[in-house]
Chains A and B, each alone.
Chain A
Amino acid sequence: MKSSTHPQNTYIGGHVERVEDYRFLRGEGQYLDDISRPGQWHAAFLRSSLAHGTIRKIDASAALAMPGVHAVMTAADIEGNIPTIPFRRPNPTIGPYAQPIIAREKVRYFGEPIAMVLADTAELAEDALQHVVVEIDALPAVIERVHAMSDAVLIFEDTKTNIPTVFNAEKGDIEAAFAGAHYVIRDQFATQRQTALPMETRGLLAEWDAQLGQLTVSGAAKLPFFNRTTMANMMNLPEEAVDYIELDVGGGFGARGEFYPEDYLLALGARKFNRPIKWIEDRREHLMAIGHSREASCDVELAFSKEGVILGMRGDLYINIGAYVRPNGMTPVRNAAQFMSGPYRIPAIDLDAHAFVSNKTPAGTYRGPGRYEGCFFIERLMDQAAGALGIDRLELRRRNLLTHEEMPYPLATVLPSDGRAETQCDSGDHREPFETVVKESNWAEKAHLQGQLIDGRYHGMAIGSFIEGGASGPQENVRMQLEADGIVSLYAGSSAIGQGLETVLAQIAADYLELPMERIRVFHGSTTYLKQGWGSYGSRATVMGGNAVIDAAKKLLGEFRLHAAKRLGLAPEELTITEGVARAADGRSVPLVEVAKDGINVDGFFKNQTPTYTYGSAFAHVAVDPGTGHIEILDYVVADDVGRIINSMTLHGQVMGAAVQGFGSVFSEELVYNDEGQLLVGSLADYLIPLATDYPVVRCISLENYPSPTNPLGAKGAGEGGIIPVGGVVANAVANALSSLGVQPKILPLSPSRVWELIEDARARA
């Protein structure tokens, strides 16, 4: 039985097929490249081929002479200072490191926009790029941590350091914790530079209506309202003069939909030439231009008591954020510091997370930002500590996992504050998904396989745990309108990025309105639907949007009651409303459709600054081929408690997809640079994402034992958790498999070449 505060429902919690899929499966999806406007021009960007240098000359005359080429815009076309992209989570020291929307004096990364060509077709625009002459004097490229942090070459000549911010995560008495320790483990680890890789590359269509003074930007994703405000400010337009239109979106994962330099240049071009301007990023460009993420390393220590109780954690984290601080470039840095403690009870923490700039593509968020990295670090420490302490790996975790009695459980405080210095796990018992995974994985029966060489492959297993922040505030809005045919149109400020938003919001609306889902029509993401909205980031759309739907549904039913009562000449409270019909005691009734002509239109919202914390555990069983270094995932089980399951089908899709994305992170995806700062990865033959057939076994178990106290639905964000534990769990399983050789993987990815070398080096040592 569901608790009595929820209406009796038929959709929430069900295995409800996505309503979006009919559209997609019939090929009726509308992505940016499916729309075109008469007379539109296409843009192509000339990008720096050097990582660091001083621009001497840009000569576009040959390009401009080509038929069909209309303009080449450079920094020279921008009056005054070059605008910079605003921060989404500002802090006091990052100002000088913001990204100018086009390079003027200097280029700071391979791929930085230098010029925008506008031509009749995308092909012509690209042809013309080859005829724009750019002369750049090379400066020394700063690629890696030691060089960058030495400040020997300052990437921003007006600053004194390549370290824009050091975030400190603090809690408890760290000195006492380490002074009283029975055992301390200290180690260094690193995760590789990656990107989120949505299947649909970025792209926008910018249109300027000179008569109305109106700018329309199609192709919005993630946070249309923030981007509208940003664009309006940068273009010196009132907010109402800018619209962001969301189309179908081929994935986001934290990277697509942020405000990028190209966004502004396209709008500027559209206004200057009074032409629709369309741009679709190509894949090579995508790899060098969209936000990168995950390039992190650390030197960290965990202090334990004799019994294996964690006393404290301290150390340094180093994040290569690339050439500029982009809108959310600091999120992974501060997150790594705050969330590295993960699901464990750690009374004393002192972590410094150093963000340093380098001559690489600027970084941003990627699903589970900072959490994936931190989880890898701490889970590797936990397994190694278990070995040293002589405590079973599972037992060590049982002694340190957070329990229900400790909720809400405060995490470390992170300063400087970027708006959320303090946070706490809201509810749950972390032992439950852990024990679920122990059981579902048949750990006890498989335990004897650990480290065994069977048919030429070493077998290993591991379990690790994670927390996932969700429900980013501050608010979400929803408008509901009763249409003449009795359908309820729902306009949401949340945006769809492939997660099944239309389905989930319709389910919630249908349950709270007591109507069939078919009578709910969901519109979302575009700034034309609502005065204000927020979007989809930080695993927020279901919680924030869903609770706003509840508010709107209640208001709509309230209006229904008033209007029905008026028709029947009764007081509103004399009516009972069930399944779209208002009934009086005398048997008279008014169906919802009948009051439609009264024009019922309500606004709902949900305000919440308190994040939710989904938590869970994952198990991996691997087989390692020492000859090739290949690792096969024989079994993978993940269990998480999401507070309240809205749709088990979309939820499992999220968790499974995230797990497989995590395998890409662990095994194959890497943005490799050479010493000169050139990106060596130019296509999907170089950047190896998992193929649909690569990882057949991922099992998901969803729990809803501890609803979130932060919202009426009791739901928690659940879009990112699946990726967070993968690095730590798989690396620990590999270490377990290769324990007879003493191999301890410390650097990701575990490519065949690297794994083989670890084995070879261990054999050479032995």
Chain B
Amino acid sequence: MKLPHFEYEAPASLDEAVALLVAGDGSARPIAGGQSFVPVMAFRLAEPSMLVDLRNIPGLDKIEITDAGVRIGAMVRWRDVLDDARLVEALPLLPAAIDHVAHYQIRNRGTVGGSLAHADPAAEMPTIALTCDAVLEVVGSKGQRSVKAADLFMGPLMTSLESDEIITSVLLPAWPADRRWAFQEFARRRGDFALAGIALFYDEDASGAAHNVHIGAISVGDTPLRLAKAEAVLNGRKIDEAAIAEAAAAASAEVDPSGDIHASARYRKSLVGTLLSRALQGAANRKAK
């Protein structure tokens, strides 16, 4: 579990970073907090020719809150998200989810961009991005482009990014103040990757019926998932006991998780429903502002 040999550069601009990635021709990799990729290298699952450290590139570590929403720089660390009191107002689902990411030391280093690029289906940030209809800004040899979170995740640890593309920020669209939301996850120990997790929000119309229901699921598929069937159950309905039970059953039915050494597939399937019903109860009971 010692690192393989690699070259290391920490360029001061995006242009230089992209140029290094291009020169590496697929075998150079960006590195941010290193909390996912260094272990990958230590296990010799990846042996890049060069690591291009993004730490010296200015402007990637800001959290900006505008009318459009919350824009988070790729190098923003979990610690920064949790320390930013504005987010509790602007997008409360985000800090609630990030509170479950890893442990103290890892949160001081792990980054939002790194997590999105790493695309672990058991991680919180990819599911939050997907659930919130986030849009990523990406820079590569062909210039800058926007990528919807929904188009990013291709499989476990696989994204649609080119090998010379760098995520610079992610925009989570603005929230209405009275949106209802909840985050529920269950892990074997606090800070471990989730056995399953649910991120959800919805808006209520004047009659109290839910619409714009967004439900994201963690760790029950090859990528972060939206639970379209459970959403369909709830859209246009009041969130009462019957609706919750029906949505939970739909959620369990529509996921097809695999079993591993930590939990069986059958358990994970059920857990999704349990967590969704707890999330819905939480969201419904949360006092509207």
Residues of A within 8 A of B (CB): 122-123, 126-127, 130, 282-285, 627-630, 668, 670, 672, 680-683, 685-686, 688, 690-691, 693-694, 751-753, 756-757, 760
Query: What is the chain B residue whose CB lies nearest that of A626?
Result: B274
**Is the CB–CB distance between B44 and A130 below 8 Å?**
yes
**8 Å CB contact of A627 from B190, B191, B278:** B278
B44 and A685 contacting across the interface, CB-CB below 8 Å: no
Please determine whether A753 and B263 come into contact, CB atoms closer than 8 angstroms.
Answer: yes
Residue B228, interface by CB 8 Å? no
- Are A753 and B264 in contact (CB-based, < 8 A)? yes
B264 contacts A757, C-beta separation under 8 Å: yes
> Given known contacts A123-B5, A694-B190, is B274 in contact with A751 (CB within 8 Å)?
no
Enumerate chain B residues within 8 angstroms of A760, measured Cβ to Cβ: 270
Contact status B186-A688, CB under 8 Å? no
Interface presence of B157 (CB below 8 A): no
Partner of A670 from the list B192, B261, B264, B267 (CB cut-off 8 Å) is B261
Establish whether residues A691 and B2, one from each chain, have CB atoms under 8 Å apart when the complex forms: no
Q: Which chain B residues lie closer than 8 Å to A686 at the CB level? A: 261
Chain B residues lying within 8 Å of A685, measured Cβ to Cβ, are 192-193
Considering the chains assembled together, what is the distance between the CA atoms of A694 and B43 in angstroms? 28
* Cross-chain contact of B188 among A627, A688, A693 (Cβ < 8 A): A688
Would B188 and A668 count as touching, CB distance under 8 A? yes
Complex: how many Å from CA A462 to CA B23?
65
Give Cα A683 to B38, complex, Å.
14
CB within 8 A of A127: which of B1, B4, B261, B274?
B4
What are 6 A-B residue pairs whose CB atoms fall within 8 Å in the complex? A130-B44, A628-B274, A668-B189, A683-B39, A752-B263, A753-B195
Identify which of residues 241-287 in chain B touch chain A, using a CB-to-CB cut-off of 8 Å.
261-264, 266-267, 270-271, 274, 278
Shortest Cβ distance from A428 into chain B, in angstroms? 37
Who on chain B is nearest to A627 by CB? B274
Residues from chain A with a CB closer than 8 A to the CB of B2 are 122-123, 126, 282
CB-CB nearest in chain B for A694: B189
Among B43, B192, B267, contact of A753 (Cβ-Cβ < 8 Å): B267
19 further A-B contacts with Cβ under 8 Å, apart from A123-B2, A760-B270, are A123-B5, A126-B44, A283-B1, A285-B1, A627-B278, A628-B271, A672-B261, A680-B261, A683-B39, A685-B192, A686-B261, A688-B192, A691-B103, A691-B191, A693-B190, A694-B189, A694-B190, A756-B267, A757-B264
Q: Mark B219-246, 1 if CB is under 8 A from A, else 0.
A: 0000000000000000000000000000
Is B3 an interface residue, CB under 8 A from the partner? yes
B127 to A: closest C-beta gap in Å:
18
Give the tally of cross-chain contacts (CB within 8 A). Answer: 68
Q: Is the CB of B5 within 8 A of A751?
A: no
Q: Is B186 in contact with A630, judged by CB distance below 8 angstroms?
A: yes
What's the minimum C-beta distance from A678 to chain B, rounded to whole angstroms?
12
Question: What is the bound-complex CA distance between A431 and B32, given in angstroms?
Answer: 59
Measured CA separation A751–B262 after assembly (Å): 8
Q: How far is the CB of A206 from chain B (nearest CB, A)?
A: 20
Interfacial chain A residues near B5, Cβ < 8 Å: 123, 127
Q: A630-B186, A751-B262, A756-B267 are in contact. Are A284 and B43 (CB under 8 A)?
A: yes
* CB-CB nearest in chain B for A674: B261
Verify B261–A752 contact, CB threshold 8 A: no
Closest to A630 in B: B186
Instruction: Kindly list the 3 A-B residue pairs having the minimum CB-CB distance in the complex, ordered from nearest.
Output: A282-B1, A753-B263, A627-B274
Q: Of all chain A residues, which has the CB nearest B42? A: A282
List chain B residues, Cβ under 8 A from A680. 261
**How many angstroms between the C-alpha atoms of A665 and B119 in the bound complex?**
32
Residue among B190, B193, B261, B271 with the highest chain A CB neighbour number at 10 A: B261
Find residues 84-108 in chain B having any chain A CB closer than 8 Å to their own CB.
103
> Across the interface, which residues of B come within 8 angstroms of A130, CB to CB?
44
Fill in one digit per residue for B179-201: 1 if any A CB lies within 8 Å of its CB, else 0: 00000001011111101000000
